[in-house]
Structure 1
Amino acid sequence: MKTSFLNVAIQSPFMVFLGRYLCLWLSVTPTRGLEMWPFLLFPPPNLNLIFSPTLKKPPSRFWILGRTRNKSSSVKKLESLLFSQFTFNVIVKQVLGLTPEEPQTARILEDFLTFMRGLISFPLYIPGTPYANAVKARIRISASVKQIIKERRRNNNIIYNNNDDDICGNMNINSQKKGSDFLEILLGVDTLSEDEKVSFVLDALLGGYETTSILMAMVVHFVAKSPSALEQLKVEHECIRGKKKKGESLNWEDYKMMGFTQNVINEALRYGNIVKFVHRKALKDIKFKDYLIPAGWKVLPILSTVHLDPSIHSRPLEFHPWRWETQRQDQTGKKFTPFGGGSRCCPGSELARVEVAFFLHHLVQNFRWSVEDDDQPIAYPYVEFQRGLVLNLDHFAL
């Protein structure tokens, strides 16, 4: 089955920018063998594969302090770039198998930040503009991924050639490789071209990085302004830590005990509205109430109008995580859609929640922080902080 893409007479600037094989443009499943690609990249929660080494041991207090400004002062300064670094380290490990210490990781992150700045810029290609810089950054990212693919194939050939006479050994190697990272899965799909594989990698990085880092920043910002929420988080995570041995990593059972943490994450998603709308296209005529949406028309559901609707959520303009103690999850399908819905629901939603929960686990036990009063989140059009969310770390346990 060949890939079916949206038909356009002239490629839009964003299609040129993002690549014509990005899943954003797909109208049907891309190819046989990748129908379940989101679940290969982000395994279901009952599988421990989701707990990669990078995620099991989030940044320690010493790692965080090493990224603060004014290290000689009793008040440390921490910028929101920390969240970007952490979430990128997790997703690049899941997708490409790269560790934070490898030089390629830092280069790809730098290009990716340039790429993201151009994603919301005016699509005019003039040298020096954010859009032009982003197009060049995407070319560099693609070149980096292609180089990784080339090296991976060469290394795999060396391994297989050295084990030609060991059939069982080859089967074991192949089994280990399939579960190592998303790129290894893509390399095993012969029906995809190299450009399509590169686009799938970019798609996974894009979906698993930007919104997660914003969510993490929003949670830290809102909790800093809610002492009661911070105190309840501290109690919950101290209880979890008290049941574990010194230095023992978190696991799925620990995650299931983070009930109030999930309430905080839900409220940050609702109140923060990180993704305010989604792009959809009617593939056939659709009748919605008294309206007819013709085939081919674009539809932009505005998620924030539901999340901030006082008829659905009481006191919607307040950060109140306790509302989720009484609001049953099975009744919020149409009232709470931060990750979209249906077949196009975000495949990395659970991974995002796990990342934020594990980060909070370490943060609330070791730090107290405050934010500047005038550093408020704004929509531009995605959520940003006016001053970059500078945190004052005025107390921490050593």
Structure 2
Amino acid sequence: MVDLLPVTLALLSGLAFVYLLLKHFAKEGCPSKLPHGNMGWPICGETLGFLKSHKSNSMGTFLEEHCSRYGKVFKSHLFGSPTIVSCDHELNMFILQNEGKLFPVDYPKPMHQILGKFSLLLVSGDLHKKLRNTIISFIRASKSEPKFLHCVENLSLSTIESWGGRKEVAFYKEAKRFTLNAMLKHLLNIDPEEPLASKILEEFETYIKGFVSLPLRIPGTTCFKAIKARVRLTSIFKEILAERLKGDAGPAEGADCLNVILSKQNLSDEERVSIVMDLLFGGYETTAKLISLIVYFLGQAPYSFEKLKEEHQAVRKIKKDGEPLNLEDYMKMEFTNNVIYEAMRYGNVVKFLHRKALQDVKFKDFVIPSGWKVLPVLSSSHFDPTLHENPQEFNPWRWNGNATSKKVLPFGGGPRLCPGADVAKVEISFFLHHLVLNYRWKTKADECPLALPYVEFTRGLLLEIEPTEKSFGRNPL
């Protein structure tokens, strides 16, 4: 007698799958005039394909194939929600400019627990304006403050001098060490040698990894560990805040960020901690990634390297031996600024943003439905041949004039334009000044920046370094 059990089980499994599939598409509602696309599998949709790693100086096969098949705007199912993905520069600009009206932020729920409810990435309205204004007031003061500029230059020199006698450097680790030390000193007046600096670095590394993981709050997952790391970091920063309040120095004294934050009486302790976390995240992680991208691209662009070196030689030539850099020197670094922007365009520290449609929005011939997730892919316009000549080429000269700046979104846009961009550029410029005057380097053939989706150098960006014939020593600061 034929055993019908396996056949019955297979039939039931098939019917259950079809039922879930039909239920999945019925749930989306699929209003008319939607962009073309594929909703993928039930529950997970196309999330795994969307998050598949690829070179950060490319769109990746998922977006390339979908744009080729469906157009620059397509529907999908990502991060547990029906989604409109935009690789259209015009639509992305529209989304960013209408962030407070039509497209609020919409990060997955577990991300809220990683970021905290007062993160600048999540809050909106008057609260967003209050927290952002506090950060901007600190950033503006920092950019021209001699103490901050000297701190950045000293840390740049100490980092580079530590390579003496070495033939190889794991640069990504060095860049993170430099940016973290700069931010800890400037934000909280913590010296790099203090044990607390190492503890914060360890916890922050765990915290950061949550941003590039699947948003699953399950014990043992990267996301879960990141949430716990944030709890511990919050405890550390609250303790520092409490100690500062009990100290002899009043909130208005000193030059670090915490004293500036404490002087703002309209902030709660949770809001103050969140500001520190946001500044540390932007000033440490994203700045380190950007410096690493610049060094990687310069290692493969000799003409850009020589032009950059000539600019910094000219800056150093008019200064006395050992004289520190100042804001006027920074303002002369025009090609350096081009290099920074081109690395952001070509390397894409931030690939996409999480948004949500508050109402049905008509764009061209289709409708973005109310309640759907919207993902503006910022990197898409950076590789658009209709916007840029030879977009797959690292070319800092394309930034001469204002034409390119209108076609890219390296620091985001709209009311959420990165508030710390100016300070990041100062840090990078000072570091590059001493780097290009002291060293040449080569990148490994099999090394490349990967979008995971945030940029990572999985091999650490190992460089072969060689000191230049003439280098400039430490400034007597």
Q: TM-score, normalised by structure 1?
A: 0.83
Does 2:465 align with 1:388? no
Q: 1:238 aligns with which of 313, 325, 341?
A: 313
Instruction: Pick closer, same or farther for the CA change 1:275–1:28 going to 2, 3 Å.
Output: same
Q: Which residue matches 1:218?
A: 293
SS of residue in 1 equivalent to 2:313:
helix
Does 2:230 align with 1:138? yes
Q: 2:135 aligns with which of 15, 38, 54?
A: 38
Deviation at 1:7, TM superposition (A): 11
Deviation at 1:291, TM superposition (A): 4.3
Number of positions where the alignment pairs a residue of Structure 1 with one of Structure 2:
366
SS of residue in 1 equivalent to 2:376:
coil
Deviation at 1:358, TM superposition (A): 0.9
Does 2:258 align with 1:183? yes
SS of residue in 1 equivalent to 2:456:
strand
Deviation at 1:389, TM superposition (A): 0.3
Q: How does 1:231-380 map to 2 (within 5 A)?
A: 231-283=306-358, 286-293=361-368, 296-325=371-400, 328-329=401-402, 331-380=403-452
Q: 1:59 aligns with which of 137, 156, 161?
A: 156
* Counterpart contact for 1:91–1:205, Cα < 8 Å: yes
Q: Which residue matches 1:170?
A: none
Deviation at 1:315, TM superposition (A): 0.4
Deviation at 1:250, TM superposition (A): 0.9
Partners of 1:283 and 1:381 lie apart in 2 by 26
* Counterpart contact for 1:41–1:94, Cα < 8 Å: no
Partners of 2:427 and 2:310 lie apart in 1 by 19
* Counterpart contact for 1:41–1:95, Cα < 8 Å: no
Q: 1:90 aligns with which of 164, 167, 182?
A: 182
Q: Which residue matches 2:125?
A: 28
* Counterpart contact for 2:251–2:260, Cα < 8 Å: no
Instruction: Pick closer, same or farther for the CA change 1:114–1:32 going to 2, 3 Å.
Output: closer
SS of residue in 2 equivalent to 1:17:
helix
Partners of 1:199 and 1:143 lie apart in 2 by 12
SS of residue in 2 equivalent to 1:253:
helix
- Deviation digits for residues 348-398 of structure 1 (CA, Å, limit 9, x no counterpart): 111121111111100000011111010011111111124110011133456
Q: How does 1:88-237 map to 2 (within 5 A)?
A: 88-155=180-247, 158-159=248-249, 175-177=252-254, 180-237=255-312
Q: Which has the larger Rg?
A: 2
Deviation at 1:64, TM superposition (A): 2.7
Q: Which residue matches 1:165?
A: none
Partners of 1:128 and 1:197 lie apart in 2 by 29
What is the alpha-carbon root mean square deviation over aligned residues?
Answer: 2.7
Partners of 1:55 and 1:321 lie apart in 2 by 24
Larger RCO (CA within 8 A; separation ≥ 6): 2
The worse-fitting range, judged by mean Cα deviation, of 343-352 and 275-284 is 275-284
Deviation at 1:43, TM superposition (A): 0.7
Deviation at 1:222, TM superposition (A): 0.6
Unaligned ranges ≥5, structure 1: 1-5, 160-172
Q: TM-score, normalised by structure 2?
A: 0.70
Partners of 1:28 and 1:284 lie apart in 2 by 18
SS of residue in 2 equivalent to 1:36:
helix
- Deviation digits for residues 288-310 of structure 1 (CA, Å, limit 9, x no counterpart): 44444455543321111111111
Deviation at 1:94, TM superposition (A): 3.2
Partners of 2:347 and 2:258 lie apart in 1 by 32
Deviation at 1:110, TM superposition (A): 1.4
Partners of 1:124 and 1:79 lie apart in 2 by 31
Instruction: Pick closer, same or farther for the CA change 1:40–1:336 going to 2, 3 Å.
Output: same
* Counterpart contact for 1:285–1:295, Cα < 8 Å: yes
Partners of 1:111 and 1:88 lie apart in 2 by 12
Partners of 1:150 and 1:37 lie apart in 2 by 19
Instruction: Pick closer, same or farther for the CA change 1:223–1:35 going to 2, 3 Å.
Output: closer
